[in-house]
Amino acid sequence: MGCSFYICSGFYATLQERFGMSTTSFKLFTFSVFLSLVGTSNLLGQHGVHGADSLHNAAIAAEHGATDAVHADDAHGAATEAEADFDAAALIMHHIADSHEFHAWGEGEKGFTLPLPVILWTDNGLVSFLSSAFHHDDAGKHVVEQKGQRFVKVHDKIYYANEGADDHGAYVTHGAEHAIENRQPLDFSITKNVFSLLMSAFFLLLLFIPAARSYGRSGGVPKGLAGFLEPLVLFVRDDIARPNIGEHRYAKFMPYLLTAFFFIWINNLIGLIPIFPFSANLTGNIAVTFTLAFFTLIITNVSANKGYWKHIFLPHVPLWLYPIMVPVEIIGILSKPFALMIRLFANISAGHIIILSLVSLIFIFKSVAISPVSVAFVLFMNFIELLVAALQAYIFTLLSALFIGLAHVEEEAHH
């Protein structure tokens, strides 16, 4: 698949002159053709679930790097077994959820993935290994032995394995409603999301520290990277922090607001790029948005003044309304960051689900004729998601600044 791209670029200039198209429209055309070809090759390469004997072959193929995996895939692509029905919902949920590996292409045991380190705090101490030790098994059938303990992975969660396998060959016990009853070690693995978080944090540091330093060297004049970042920083200061928090107090909260704004924006954008190292859905993970909203909650309430707490616990209403007003106000303290958490999580996850669903259309209809339509829709949705990425970062920061500003209540004279 990669070689066709190079051939295309070789023919670029001549084909362009031949058809007399403008550069941009020609690029769009070849790009959509390329995407349709990728769609068909994926369709041809799809297999059903294999038995245990091909596990070994797939494991060797996956561990030997790109070229070997392509050969293994091509060899099997021609001789596909009966395809399992395409489960769009499962695929989509798998792709927006966290994972112990970066999935590049292929499916099940024949897939090519980049394994990530698994770090577990077990009864016997710290255990770490690469997630390729599980050999693409997600059903609890492959046991990994480390430090005298046995682990299996089911639906991307790691459990202590049972001594014997059940009738499906899995080393876990299923309880009511398919819930797994095995114990779990504490999972501190570098999963996709952790990798993306560290990478985006590192990238933000790489971006901002040199920019900040350059101000000293150039005597306060923004040059280069600082010149690029300054309008964004000033935007956060003048349109978000100053109007909502007030002239006298805003400077203390600028670091948090800037961090939230750029962190959320960068991670939203990273989630939209489908290639390693970018494809992690970090801000669509409710634990991450919970943490961000929790920071807002803490900062709002720690920096609040007496007037704020008076309004909550001693509101200016008749005494008989207190049993209603005080609980409502207390719920209000918690519901505002809760809304922040849900808003960011739902917007980003919903965007990813929509894009994945539109791409899955090709596989649901099992026809290559759908791909121009699907690709056009996906392109359109990606543009909207670009807007949503920046907008959700802005909304989160704006509402955080608003809550911080509202937490400082000046006592007016009319009471």
Partner 1 sequence: MITGIAAIGAGLAVIGAGLGIGRIGGSAMDAIARQPEAAGKIQTNMIVAAALVEGAALFAVVVSLLVA
Which residues of the shown chain bind partner 1 in the complex (CB under 8 A)?
339, 342-343, 345-347, 350, 391-392, 394-395, 398
- Whether 402 contacts 244, CB under 8 Å: yes
What is the C-alpha to C-alpha distance for residues 326 and 308, in angstroms, rounded to an integer? 13
Neighbour count for residue 13 (Cβ, 10 Å): 10
Structure tokens at 200: 């985006």
Name which of 122 and 392 has its Cβ closer to partner 1. Answer: 392
Residue 172 or residue 356: which is nearer to partner 1 going by CB? Answer: 356
Q: Which is nearer to partner 1, 212 or 339 (CB)?
A: 339
Q: How far is the CB of 83 from partner 1 (least distance, A)?
A: 25
Asked if the bond preceding 277 is cis, omega within 30° of 0, the reply is yes
**Distances in whole angstroms, Cα of residue 67 to Cα of each of 62, 77, 107, 276:** 10, 15, 17, 17
Question: What is the smallest separation between the CB atom of 339 and partner 1, expressed in angstroms?
Answer: 7
Cβ proximity to partner 1: between 68 and 239 the closer is 239
Q: Which is nearer to partner 1, 300 or 397 (CB)?
A: 397
- Among 122, 271, 129, 149, smallest CA distance to 190 is for 129
Nearest to 407 by CA among 262, 253, 239: 253
- Name the pairing type of β-strands 117-122 and 186-187: antiparallel
Nearest alpha carbon to residue 357 among 92, 94, 41? 92
Name which of 230 and 239 has its Cβ closer to partner 1.
Answer: 239
Smallest gap from Cβ 293 to partner 1, in A, equals 13
Q: Which lies closer to partner 1 via its Cβ, residue 194 or residue 350?
A: 350
For residue 352, give the nearest of 390, 391, 388, 394 by alpha carbon: 388
Rounded least distance, CB 331 to partner 1, Å: 15
Tell me which residue of 240, 236, 270 sits closest to 389, measured CA to CA: 270
As measured in angstroms, the least distance from the Cβ of 275 to partner 1 is 27
Min separation Cβ 345 and partner 1, Å: 7
Nearest to 172 by CA among 137, 221, 200, 202: 137
Please give the full DSSP string across 155-174, using - where no structure is assigned: TTEEEEPPSS--TTS-SS-B
In the complex, least distance from residue 163 CB atom to partner 1, rounded to whole angstroms:
35
Neighbours of 85 (CB within 10 A): 7
| Nearer residue to partner 1 within complex by CB, 39 or 405 | 405
Least Cβ distance, residue 344 to partner 1 (angstroms): 9
